[in-house]
Chain A
Amino acid sequence: MKTAINKTMPSSAEGMSRVDGRLKVTGAAKYSAEYTPKGLTYGVLAGSTITKGNIIAIDTKAAERAPGVLAVITHLNAPKVPGDQPEKGKAADAKGALKVFYDDKIYYNGQPVAIVVADTFERALFAASLVKAQYKTEKHITSLPDNRDKGFPPRGEGTYKRGTEDAWKLAPFKVEQEYIVPTVTHNPMELHAIIANWDTDNKLTVWDKTQGVKDTQGDLAHLFKLPKENVQVHSQFVGGAFGSALRTWPHEVAAILAAKVVKRPVKVVLSRADMFTSVGYRPFTWQKIGIGATADGKLTGITHEAAGQTSSYENFTEGPTGVSQSLYACPNVNTKYHLVALDIATPTWMRGPGEATGAFALESALDELSYQLKLDPVELRLRNYAQTDPGSGKPFSSKFLNEAYQLGSDHIGWKDRKQEPGTVKQNGWYVGYGMGGGMFGAYRAGATIRAKFNADGTLLLQSAVSDIGPGTGTAMVLIAAEQLGIPAEKIRFELGDSSLPNAPTQGGSATTASVGSAVYKACADLKEKFQKLAGNGATNNPDYTKILKDSGLPSLEVVSETDGGNGMQKYAMNSWSVHFVKVLVNAATGVVKIDKVACVSDCGKVISPKTARSQVIGGAIGGLGMALMEESIIDHRYGRYINNNFADYHVPVNADIPQIDALFVNKPDPIINPMGAKGMAEIALIGMAAAVANAVYNASGKRVRDLPITPDKVMA
């Protein structure tokens, strides 16, 4: 592609700027809470103050009498959600999503017990504080380490074995260690929000923060027993999500119920504190790795155990041990995954789900092994490089991870790294280097594009897909510009609307591969239609506007559908990454400073260099937060988060982050789709936490196995 990068490391100014950039820098981009349907009202949720038990009484009188209040809804007076009612042949207590205002049961602290609707936000917020519930409290459990003995294998994802179990134990060089990834919360900057309105008794419109308008449409149609076409979902701009908007949450249903009661549109915007309890999180996960190698660094066995937390009412799995099954060529691998049900809300997928957690343990353990072997960690990885997928034996659709290792180590100055830890000290700071990598499935799903070429030379592309920030519209416009040979500024991409043609939910790094394939096909179909119109003498670069003019047509339209491709049948398909980090560790305080970062992605062809670079840097910074500061802390005596705000839950700020170099192997994958593009969102984060931990060890000689790597742990 002529728009693609021709070097491995673009600068921030290179490539086409975002197609929606102007809207975003002028404040004109409208997010879900920013629409004003006639008669708009405000809903504020009141949450449970206990962690487990039952509501025995709920006093809503004061709230009802407060100025401007239109309704106070609890489990006692809420309209029934048809889809929440028990189904015939299904156990009434079957596990599943939390049913809001369904009964008196409390499953976690902060669970919505009421929604107060008023004519202004201030009045609703005040009135919500007046709702008083009385509870019958039961003993709760919220700590995974204290309850690991209660673990159970999730259905279908419990154990895996190839070769001999625990073969690592017989190896001459071996490591066995435990690793902790704490609860980490997505915390996108935009608070989750919804405006719900019943247009008629059986027609619902929502402006909702969601990563998939079609999924949300389907969920709401099911819950409220409506035909899908009677549910309209708008989500044109999404202020980040990282997984938190992959499913339909209780506050969305609460807003829809409230709108039904007050017969007016209801807006619900979660508070930042709600963001910790209401829209998922990366689950606290305990892991243990046993890994062994021969004296020349050939892996002989890996045993990877993991126990992750879930809620008492729903099983959430994310496969943290998968990375140990596939990242390295190793003849003997066995893994075990357990869930521990706690009195907390259900976790959900967060950027690099499963792999980010698993790669912290595996890539840390590999680093520990490299020191035993006195072998360069990059060399150890190269000696166990998987040429084919170790799990399935299938060939990879493409894999250039070895080139990524080379690019990254050259760029960071890996040759300056000393194998002996704690030996380089400058001005009171230990200096060290570390690396860690990962993989994530390269997925592709079916998608449909409507493409309309107008007589004025403009092209309109339409898809229901959401864009939570990576720049989907920008990448799609670039694909169409390339395929049709027209300027990008003539192309408009419409998205985030459930009435538009089908697209998968934006998740799993699959959007460009999936929707991009449909754009590619729509352009090919459109071109063919033009060539047919032109008849004899049609060229490969038809003059579209002339053909329309000659034919007397105002426009030409195609609707093109692509499936998920069949590459997965024959190939193992993944994106790969490796992160190299140089850190400074303060000898007196244990403070870790990130000095230099080089992230290398092997994600096929890069479609949009500017936004791809930003996406990789963004993922890297998410990984640095996971490594150094992020942890949602529960006071287990009360089962309540105690750092549920941005002052106490630290995410990286500008001062924490140096320039980060994003490098791309940029070689097309010949299988996944005609563009050769694979996903990059997850791999940008996966492996980063281990890279930092490994660098901290190389600098200071202190191995930290429980994230985040805070100064107290470095000094301990």
Chain B
Amino acid sequence: MENKEAYPANDAAQDVKDSSRRNFIKQSTLLTAVALTPGTAIKAAADHIDEQIAAVFEKMPLKMQVNGKTQNLSVEPRATLLDILREQLDLTGTKKGCDHGQCGACTVHVDGHRINSCLTLGVMMNGRKITTIEGLANGNQLHPMQEAFIKHDGFQCGYCTPGQIMSAVACIREGHANSEHEIREYMSGNICRCGAYPNIVNAIQEVKDGGMAV
């Protein structure tokens, strides 16, 4: 995020950094592979900004489309799609409920299919099209599933709701919404602790039976 990157490095914290890595960067022949003159790098190390340089090595480029917009990012390989959406792109509609793929709060669409974004590393998403809850409506015109969730009160606290709605849309697209029983089964990866399940089923049935494009 712009704010965070613009923030000056904390000097006190930089002083306690691992000296071995600093030395590595000073000596590394890898430096010749980057468009940096050794003199600049050594000066950088002396100025205690070597961690930032190291961070460049540790990051990988990621180009993905999110809600129709191309994002060119530089991410750590260990960063999940969920954390990239929430922390780097400020798309906080996608929620973290367990970080273990057990609750569904982080459900997004990748190339039209629902996935748990907490179980997906960002670097796996190169060239993919991501849709989050923020990208579901058509401008001010809510998606029929969003309308149905409001009408049937398919939530209380609202925290699992984005994941439920993304899952619900996929559930119909997959052809898994042909009966109340089937909807319940295919929506069971999305936990709602407030207990809105019957209302969620009603909302999905209304959209399905209404034959609206999802």
Q: Which residues of B contact A21 (CB under 8 A)?
A: 149-150, 153, 155
**Complex Cα distance A656/B201, Å?**
12
- CB of B197 within 8 A of CB of A190, answer no
Evaluate contact between A65 and B156: CB separation under 8 angstroms. Answer: no
Asked whether B158 lies within 8 Å of A24 as measured between CB atoms, the reply is yes
Within 8 A of B (CB), among A644-661: 645-647, 651-660
**Contact residue among A18, A240, A620 (Cβ-Cβ distance under 8 Å from B153):** A18
Contact of A191 with B97 at beta-carbon distance under 8 Å, contacts A24-B155, A239-B158, A264-B7 already known: yes
Question: Does A25 lie at the interface of the complex (its beta carbon under 8 Å from any beta carbon of B)?
Answer: yes
Contact for A190 among B133, B146, B159, CB less than 8 A: B159
Instruction: Name the A residues within 8 Å of B159 (CB-CB).
Output: 31, 188-190, 239-240
Query: Cβ of A26 and Cβ of B146 under 8 Å apart?
Result: yes
Q: Which of A453-461, A553-561, A611-619 contacts B (4 or more CB under 8 A)?
A: A611-619
Q: How far is the CB of B132 from chain A (nearest CB, A)?
A: 7
A17 touches B188 (CB 8 A): no
For the complex, is A187 an interface residue (Cβ under 8 Å from B)? yes
**Interface size on B (CB < 8 Å)?**
76
- A440 interface residue (CB < 8 Å to B): no
Give the segment of A78-86, A115-123, A708-716 that binds chain B: A115-123
Within residues 55 to 98 of chain B, which ones have a CB less than 8 A from any CB in chain A?
55, 58, 76, 78-79, 83, 86-87, 90-98
A286 to B91, alpha carbons, bound, how many Å? Answer: 46
Binary A-proximity of B171-214 (CB < 8 A = 1, otherwise 0): 00000000010011101111111111111111100000000000
B159's nearest neighbour on chain A, judged by CB, is A239
The closest CB in chain A to the CB of B18 belongs to A65
Nearest Cβ on chain A to B195's Cβ, whole angstroms: 3
Minimum CB–CB distance from B144 to chain A (whole Å) comes to: 11
Measured CA separation A34–B98 after assembly (Å): 16
Q: Are A655 and B157 in contact, with the CB atoms below 8 A? A: no
Interface size class of A (residues with CB under 8 A): 35 or more
- With contacts A25-B150, A25-B161 known, is A653 near B191, CB below 8 A? yes
| Chain A residues closer than 8 Å to B201, beta-carbon distance | 654, 659
A614 to B197, CA, bound (A): 10
CB-CB < 8 A to A70: which residues of B? Answer: 10, 13
Q: CB distance B157 to A469 under 8 Å?
A: yes
Knowing A272-B98, A652-B195, A654-B197 touch, does A67 contact B55 (C-beta < 8 A)?
yes
B156 near A470: Cβ-Cβ < 8 Å: yes
B-contacting residues, A9-59, CB 8 Å: 12-13, 17-18, 20-31, 33-34, 36-40
Contact bitstring A61-76, B, C-beta under 8 A = 1, else 0: 0001111111100000
Pick the contact of B94: A12, A27, A189 (CB < 8 A): A27
Are B153 and A651 in touch, CB under 8 angstroms? no
Bound complex: CA A190 to CA B103 (Å): 11
Interface centre among A37, A242, A272, A622 (most CB of B within 10 A): A272
Q: Are A69 and B13 in contact (CB under 8 A)?
A: yes
Question: With an 8 A cutoff between CB atoms, is A610 at the interface?
Answer: yes
How distant is the Cα of A37 from the Cα of B77 in the complex, in angstroms? Answer: 26
Cβ of A657 and Cβ of B197 under 8 Å apart? yes
Q: Which of B137, B156, B165, B203 contacts A618 (CB 8 A)?
A: B156
Q: Which of these, A67, A237, A655, contacts B188 with CB under 8 Å?
A: A655
**Chain B residues with Cβ under 8 A from A36's Cβ?**
1, 3-4, 90
Contacts of A271 in B (CB 8 A): 99
| Contact assessment for A25 and B149 in the assembled complex, using a CB-CB cutoff below 8 Å | yes
| Residue contact A189 to B195, C-beta cutoff 8 Å | no
- Assess whether B152 is in contact with A13, with CB atoms less than 8 Å apart: yes
Contact with B along A627-659 (1 / 0, CB 8 A): 000000000000000000111000111111111
B132 contacts A27, CB within 8 Å? Answer: yes
A619 proximity list for chain B (CB < 8 A):
195
The answer for the CA separation of A324 and B82 in the assembled complex, in Å, is 48
**A61 to B: closest C-beta gap in Å:** 8
Q: Would you call A67 and B51 a contact (CB within 8 A)?
A: yes
Determine whether the beta carbon of B13 is less than 8 Å from that of A190: no
Closest Cβ of chain A to B5, distance in Å, is 10
List the A side residues contacting B132 at CB < 8 Å.
27
The reply to whether the CB of B130 lies closer than 8 angstroms to some CB of chain A is no
Q: Are A651 and B150 in contact (CB under 8 A)?
A: no
- Chain A contacts with B in 661-685, Cβ cutoff 8 A: none
Taking a contact as CB atoms under 8 Å apart, the answer to whether B103 and A68 are in contact is: no
| Contact indicator B202/A13 (Cβ below 8 Å) | yes
* Residue A471 is within 8 A (CB to CB) of chain B in the complex: yes
Tell whether A468 is near chain B: CB-to-CB under 8 Å: yes
Contacts of B183 in A (CB 8 A): 654
The 8 Å CB contact of A272, one of B94, B100, B195, is B100
Residues of A within 8 A of B195 (CB): 617-622, 652, 657
The answer to whether A12 and B152 touch across the interface, beta carbons within 8 angstroms, is yes
Bound Cα distance A18, B154 (Å): 10
Q: Which residue of A24, A120, A191, A621 has the most chain B CB atoms within 10 A of its CB atom? A: A24
Q: How far is the CB of A349 from chain B (nearest CB, A)?
A: 16
Chain A interface mostly helix, strand, loop or mixed?
Answer: loop
Q: Is A591 an interface residue (CB 8 A)?
A: no
A239 and B92 in contact (CB under 8 A), knowing A188-B193, A620-B195, A652-B195?
no
- Which chain B positions have C-beta within 8 A of A24? 155, 158, 161
Which residues of A sit under 8 angstroms from B185, Cβ to Cβ? 654-655
Interface check A262, CB cutoff 8 A: yes
> Are the CB atoms of A40 and B4 closer together than 8 Å?
yes
Contact across chains for A26 and B133 when beta carbons are under 8 A apart: yes
Residues of B within 8 A of A653 (CB): 188-191, 197
Instruction: Determine how close the nearest CB of chain A comes to the CB of B165; give it in whole angstroms.
Output: 6
B residues 117-143 touching A (CB-CB < 8 Å)? 132-134, 136-137, 142
A66 / chain B contacts, CB cutoff of 8 Å: 18
Does A269 touch B at the CB level, under 8 Å? yes
Q: Which residues of the other chain, A, contact B191 by a CB distance below 8 angstroms? A: 189, 646, 651, 653
A23 / chain B contacts, CB cutoff of 8 Å: 158
User: Residue A468 contacts which of B3, B157, B165, B190 (CB distance < 8 angstroms)?
Assistant: B157
Given contacts A189-B159, A611-B153, A65 and B16 within 8 Å (CB-CB)? yes
B54 contacts chain A at the CB level, 8 A cutoff: yes
Task: Check: A513 CB closer than 8 A to any chain B CB.
Answer: no
**Chain B residues with Cβ under 8 A from A269's Cβ?**
96
| A627, chain B: closest CB distance, angstroms | 13
Q: A651 and B193: CB pair below 8 A? A: yes
Alpha-carbon distance A495/B112, docked complex (angstroms): 37
Question: How long is the Cα–Cα vector from A242 to B98 in the complex, in angstroms?
Answer: 18
Which residues of chain A come closer than 8 Å to B194, judged between CB atoms? 189, 240, 469, 614, 618
In the complex, A614 Cα to B196 Cα: how many Å?
7
B192 surroundings in chain A (CB, below 8 A): 189, 654
B18 and A121 within 8 A (CB): no
When distances are taken between beta carbons in the complex, the residues of chain B under 8 Å from A264 are 7, 10
**Beta-carbon contact of A68 and B150 below 8 Å:** no
Measured CB to CB, the closest approach of chain A to B168, in angstroms, equals 10
| Chain A residues whose CB sits within 8 angstroms of the CB of B115 once the complex forms | none
Give the docked Cα–Cα distance between A33 and B97 (Å): 12
Q: How far is the CA of A120 from the CA of B150 in the complex (A)?
A: 35
Q: Which B residues touch A126, using CB under 8 A?
A: 78
- B102 pairs with A12, CB closer than 8 A: no
Question: Of B93, B152, B157, which contacts A238 at CB under 8 A?
Answer: B157
Contact among B76, B83, B153, B161 for A613, CB-based, below 8 A: B153
Contact assessment for B153 and A17 in the assembled complex, using a CB-CB cutoff below 8 Å: yes
A656–B180 Cα gap in the complex (Å)? 12
Q: Can you name 14 A-B pairs with beta carbons within 8 Å?
A: A18-B150, A21-B153, A22-B150, A25-B146, A26-B142, A189-B95, A189-B160, A237-B157, A238-B157, A617-B198, A645-B102, A653-B189, A654-B197, A657-B184
| New A-B pairs, 7, CB < 8 Å, besides A30-B92, A39-B7, A646-B100 | A12-B203, A17-B150, A66-B18, A272-B100, A615-B156, A619-B195, A655-B185
Chain A residues with a Cβ under 8 A of chain B: 12-13, 17-18, 20-31, 33-34, 36-40, 64-71, 119-122, 126, 187-191, 237-240, 242, 262, 264, 269, 271-272, 468-471, 610-611, 613-615, 617-622, 645-647, 651-660
